Structure 1
Amino acid sequence: MKKFTLLCLVVLCAARPGFLAAAEEAAPLAEAVWKASGGENWPNVKTIDFTFAVEKGGQTLVSAEHHWDVVAQTDRVKWKGKDVTVNLADPATDEDGKAAYARWVNDSYWLLAPLKFKDRGIQFKAEGRKTIDGAECEVLLLSFDQVGLTPNDQYRLYIDPATKLLASWDYISEPGKSKHGTWENYQKSGGLTLATEHKMDEVEIKILNLKVTSSQ
């Protein structure tokens, strides 16, 4: 999952004319998804509170509470008996500091991925339309230009043509290896529109106790 630098511009790869054309075609759709998720309201966001939970077979495998002070660039994370506040601009290098930062990177991506479409080093490629989970979706392939903790990850994004919200994605950790996950149960808070449930095989990821405060 990737570090959040929302004000940076999308970087498009110019390796091949065909890729460049697909990237140029993808840009308006990526912008539409960002806007539908509340991207234009992000500058007003002050804090985000949420609990990231992973459940399987009725059992909770992971539970991490976050108090993210967006203005101060800190995140207080409580998980596995730990209570760590991480400086997101300059993460600590001790074991707990690195673990808390990794939790923020992962958990915030499941919460805010569409709002990170303007991060530095994000690349998009348009892939037309495809029927997935019984519905026709617009498709974008998202990749990274050597940024973040896992720069080789890719995501195939399936977008609702009517709402421009992310409906699901394929997480591609390496060529030929992917996991399909849904984006559903969208909630509005503090000017943002965020998915709070994701289903991947037998695992369910939930965003609980969501509260976004903003200046508006």
Structure 2
Amino acid sequence: MAKLTKNLRIVLPILLAGVLLIGCEARQENNAQKNTVSTDKANKVVQNSDPKALAIADSVIEAMGGAQAWEETKVIRWNFFGRRTHTWDKEQGRDRISIPGQNMEITLDLKSKEGTVVKNGEPLTQPDSVQKYLETGYSMWVNDSYWLVMPFKLKDPGVSLGYMGLDTTRVGTPAHKLKLTFGDVGMTPENKYHVYVDTTDHLIKQWAYFSKASDDTARFVLPWKDYNRYGNILLSGNRGSNTLSDIEVLEEWPYKQ
């Protein structure tokens, strides 16, 4: 759970995806299964979303580098608001979280949610403590990665997109306004977002967060600024008074394990 300001705490939803294919025959079979599942999931998004909103979401992903570039991105590293650093092995589905303030390092398999915890230079061995910190680490990854890569998640399974018309951001940028709501997915499916897509460059320039889909007043409205290219994709780290810094795209996991 990330603290934006003194009294603002949120946990943001995100969805996990990833298939590890081993061997030629297994690869072909699994690819066929993956394509079928992906099609089914995509159909659910289409059925629950406005066609214009879907088209705008496609334009966002393309402006960010495209779906293929995102799929081929292997490892992303970033610092979340000066509090902790993630090294997310997107290809293999794992994350290492370094938390200097607690002198802690969590290495986590994002599918099984198993992993290791090192505190003050020593591995933790007490199962209850390890489990507690692994659960905390997973929540951190869920939250912190959504702050960075949300534009690539617009068409994830369970997401419903609505088109709310033309609007402007707080700094006056003309934008398409999309509404994001969620089915029974993620850690906080009751959340809602309004996303503002620049009508010129098709990049997200602002988002508004609502604790509940029924809420009329946003908990916060923040900019998405300072897009830069990392590897073959664009990412933004500027959220106004808060910053996702030290962003990198790596070709391989930089650790031995």
Query: Greater relative contact order: 1 or 2 (C-alpha under 8 angstroms, separation 6 or more)?
Result: 1
- Note if contact 2:182-2:189 (Cα within 8 Å) is conserved in structure 1: yes
* Larger-Rg structure: 2
The superposition leaves residues 72-93 of structure 1 with CA deviations (integer Å, 9 ceiling, x where unpaired) of 2110001132200111111148
- Note if contact 1:50-1:65 (Cα within 8 Å) is conserved in structure 2: yes
Task: Say whether residues 1:197 and 2:224 are aligned partners.
Answer: no
Aligned to 2:90: 70
Using structure 1 for the length normalisation, give the TM-score: 0.84
Any gaps of 5 or more consecutive residues in structure 1? 15-19, 54-61
> Which ranges of 4 or more aligned residues in structure 1 deviate by more than 6 Å?
none
Pick from 6, 16, 21: which aligns with 1:4? 16
Using structure 2 for the length normalisation, give the TM-score: 0.71
Aligned to 1:149: 187
Aligned length in residues? 197
Aligned to 1:57: none
CA distance in structure 2 between the partners assigned to 1:10 and 1:190 by the alignment: 30
CA distance in structure 1 between the partners assigned to 2:43 and 2:157 by the alignment: 6
CA distance in structure 2 between the partners assigned to 1:65 and 1:26 by the alignment: 33
Which letter maps to 1:11?
A: K
Pick from 154, 169, 176: which aligns with 2:207? 169
Q: Which structure shows the higher strand fraction?
A: 1
CA distance in structure 2 between the partners assigned to 1:90 and 1:83 by the alignment: 18
Any gaps of 5 or more consecutive residues in structure 2? 1-11, 19-37, 115-129, 253-257
1:97 CA drift (Å): 0.3
Which letter maps to 2:174?
A: E
Pick from 134, 144, 148: which aligns with 1:107? 144
For residues 13-162 of structure 1, what are the structure 2 equivalents within 5 Å? 23-38=50-65, 39-53=67-81, 63-79=83-99, 80-92=102-114, 94-133=131-170, 134-162=172-200
RMSD: 2.0
